[in-house]
A and B are shown apart, each in its own frame.
Chain A
Amino acid sequence: MLRATSILALTTACALRLSAQQPASPAQPGPAPGPAAPQDPEQLKALEARVRKLEAEAAAREATPPPRLGGAEGSASKSLNPDISVIGNLVASAGHDPVRPSDGLDLHEAEVALGAVVDPYSRGDVILSFGDGGAAVEEAYLTFNALPGGFVAKAGKLRAAFGKVNPAHTHNLAWTDRPLVTENLLGGEEGIADAGLSVSRILPAPGSLFLEATGEVYRGTSGDLFEARKKKDLTAVGHLKAYQDLTENTNLEIGLSYARGHNPAGEGLVTTLRGLDATLRWKPLLRSIYTSLLWRTEVVWSRREAPDGVRDAKGFYSSLDYRLDRRWTFGARVDRSERAEAPDLVDKGQSLLGTFWLSEFSQLRGQLKSTRYAGGAKGSEFRLQLVFLMGAHGAHPF
């Protein structure tokens, strides 16, 4: 029954197509008008054959692949997982430092970075670090990059935009340690990193000058630098960045930073920090993977209120890095910093550095470091650092 119906339908379709393709000639009487099933089995067979032929021709003409049936394989959540990368930072040291002693061999940290677009309005980044001191959330924030008016906002735990060293993770620095001025005035490796909100915007500027202002507000507790006793003891951070391409290969960046927060010395006591950073980069575009030069200096002024008065301290570092070829970078750094609580005490240091790049994803760095602490104590160390990255390819530091 089914077969008879389908043959009927096919013949009808065929007859209609034939009549459309070949107008009936008046000399040959055409088929009776209207769909009528042919009775002759021979005629039926012939029509069936013609249907098949026409269908084959149509298929060849269109030659479209059959539709793909079913959805993608696997679990949907996997394809929406964040990009994951793991960064290891292993430090070995020889020699001694009486003020900041370090272990002979130390897994300084293993960092896990997770990043993904959250929705059409924001992307999320979470950076967890694991080390001898346990696990910590280094950063965890949302970046709202689709705001109107050219604003970019970040909310969450952030490394504050104070200068150049504070926002950077240790493994992205050009050294195995942080400069003395960071240790003495800016809260050490932890630095200013706190839960808060950051808003930045590119400002109008003449010519090709790049100007960007960043304003940040934090909870107010950041290592041993800031301590909020009340909810309103917030920390405020501001940064103004000016950048100019001097030539295609050379550029200069100047930054001004400001931070103000309550310090642990007593209730209502405030620490104010001001910073100036300057970076000069030279990297010939045609040979960028083989040679480059980077000079960077940061100066920080600290004003710390204490129960018995105000302490004004300052410090700076200056660092030069030269890429000799595809695998070697050499550098030097000079440090000098007063101590925030006792500005009369001045620490000084010098470092020589050499970095061997095994690949873009692992590097071996040696640092010969000599420190003369206030009071006459001397530190003399050789530090060897191995940094490696696995997983998602992150942004190149600039």
Chain B
Amino acid sequence: MPISAPSRLFRTLALAATALLGLAAGPALRAGGKLNVVATTTDLAALATEVGGEKVAVTAIARGYQDPHFVEAKPSFLLNLRKADLVLAVGLELEVGWLPPLLNQCGNPKVQPSAPGYFDASRSAEILEIPSGPVSRAQGDVHPLGNPHYWLDPRNGARIAEALARKLAEMDPGDAAYFQGRLADFRRRLEAAEKRWDEAMKPYRGRKVVTYHRSWPNFTSRFGLQVADYVEPRPGIPPSPGHLVQLMGMMKREGIKVILVEPYFDLKTPQSVARETGAQVVVLMPSVGGNAETGDYLKLFDYDVDQLVKAFRAAK
């Protein structure tokens, strides 16, 4: 008996629905007893590894050398997100262009922003540049909730690690002591490293620098540097010739010899400013994994402090 078109359609749909339901058998299981953690950035991933050790399987979405504002919401990220027990986000709208659509599509109720498996690290960190007056995009791509580059202060790293230890213990109470032990060890190493960094930066406290983007307020305030101006006139707005002339005049007047640039910005403009003013361009790593030498959270600061010290020495 020939099958009419509508009944054929119905049969196809019913088959498809049955197939889909069959695939839905059972929730995603934890990988080998480990908590699946997906961090939006390598820095949060590094902190989760410090605290979670071998009890967590951590992946990061953005690479350390990538502009975290402009990560693409690639479907391949969904493969990790749908199996995640915990998502770590920087928050403060840093990931606004790509994390919400990924979470919306991943089909994982555990990590939705209202669920316990969503961890916003900004809630445990000291946040700078929280706008107090009216906010508008005449100021560029401003972050109305405060500057999201807060992980670049090691004190915030310690605070986030502490909050992470609490969160991991909440999700895996059996290993709470393990997480506390690793946290204590991380804090010890971080404190020792901070002494080292402070010692190295001591001669240069109070120095003025220019940075490309507003990525460094936490870093510069922690190490006693002053940001005199930015290569970008406003966040996310490419520099105009007029702004650059003004910037170069100011740098000459103030004797500023260092321009800090993130690896994902083109060096042409900063280099021409540096040539005109006798300054040097220093590519600092804003994130873990920005290059081969910044493999973990402590190495990130080791590298950046080292680069700065070299630059300040050369500027003498």
Contact = CB atoms under 8 A, between A and B. Distances in A.
Contacts of B141: 359-361
Nearest to B73: A398
Nearest to A362: B137
A138 B109 CA distance: 28
A287 B266 contact: yes
A241 B263 CA distance: 34
Nearest to A154: B104
Interface stretch (A98-106, A195-203, A312-320, A365-373): A195-203
Interface in A241-264: 241, 243-245, 248, 251, 253, 260
Interface string A138-159: 0000010111111110000000
A289 B70 contact: yes
B285 to A, nearest CB: 12
Instruction: Give the contact-size bracket for chain B.
Output: 35 or more
B78 A203 contact: no
A181 to B, nearest CB: 24
A130 interface: no
A327 B104 contact: no
A290 B23 contact: no
A204 interface: yes
Contacts of B101: 395, 398
A238 B19 CA distance: 14
B76 A202 contact: no
A286 interface: yes
Interface core residue of A117, A150, A203, A260 (most chain B CB under 10 Å): A150
A243 B264 CA distance: 26
Contacts of B237: 359
A386 B16 CA distance: 43
Interface string A246-288: 0010010100000010000000001000000000000101111
Interface in B226-261: 236-238
Interface stretch (B60-68, B119-127, B174-182, B270-278): B60-68
A215 interface: yes
B208 interface: no
Interface residues of A, number: 54
Contacts of B24: 148-151, 201
Contacts of B70: 288-289, 396
Contact of B79 (A146, A202, A251, A253): A202
B295 to A, nearest CB: 18
A210 B75 CA distance: 7
Contacts of A202: 78-79, 82, 106-107
Contacts of B264: 285-289
A199 B106 CA distance: 13
Interface core residue of A120, A147, A199, A395 (most chain B CB under 10 Å): A395
Interface string B116-147: 00000000000000000000010011000000
Contact of A152 (B21, B73, B107, B137): B107
Interface string B56-96: 00000001011100101111101100100000000001001
A326 interface: yes
Contacts of A243: 74-76
Given A199-B20, A213-B16, A289-B70, A120 B114 contact: yes
Interface string B15-30: 0110011011101100
B9 interface: yes
A260 to B, nearest CB: 6
A208 B77 CA distance: 10
A208 B78 CA distance: 11
A12 B219 CA distance: 53
Given A150-B82, A289-B67, A208 B76 contact: yes
A52 interface: no
A245 B76 contact: yes
A33 to B, nearest CB: 46
B96 A148 contact: no
B113 interface: yes
B266 A123 contact: no
A395 B65 contact: no
B266 to A, nearest CB: 6
Given A215-B13, A288-B66, A148 B27 contact: yes
Nearest to B83: A150
Nearest to B264: A286
Interface string A170-211: 000000000000000000000000000001111110001010
A264 to B, nearest CB: 17
Nearest to B28: A150
Given A248-B63, A260-B9, A398 B107 contact: no
Interface core residue of B21, B97, B237 (most chain A CB under 10 Å): B97
A323 to B, nearest CB: 12
A117 B100 CA distance: 11
A236 interface: yes
A335 interface: no
Contacts of A390: 137
A327 B75 contact: no
Interface core residue of A148, A152, A199, A202 (most chain B CB under 10 Å): A202
A236 B97 CA distance: 31
Contacts of B112: 120, 145-146
B160 interface: no
Contacts of B67: 288-289
B76 A151 contact: no
Given A149-B107, A285-B264, A396-B98, 13 more contacts: A120-B115, A145-B107, A146-B115, A150-B28, A151-B24, A243-B74, A285-B65, A288-B67, A290-B266, A359-B141, A395-B98, A396-B70, A396-B73
Interface of A: 117, 120, 123, 143, 145-152, 199-204, 208, 210, 212-213, 215, 217, 232, 236, 238, 241, 243-245, 248, 251, 253, 260, 270, 283, 285-290, 326-327, 359-361, 390, 393-396, 398
11 contacts: A149-B21, A151-B20, A199-B20, A202-B82, A213-B20, A245-B76, A285-B65, A286-B65, A287-B264, A393-B96, A398-B73
- A-B pairs with lowest CB-CB distance, top 4: A149-B24, A146-B109, A150-B107, A396-B97
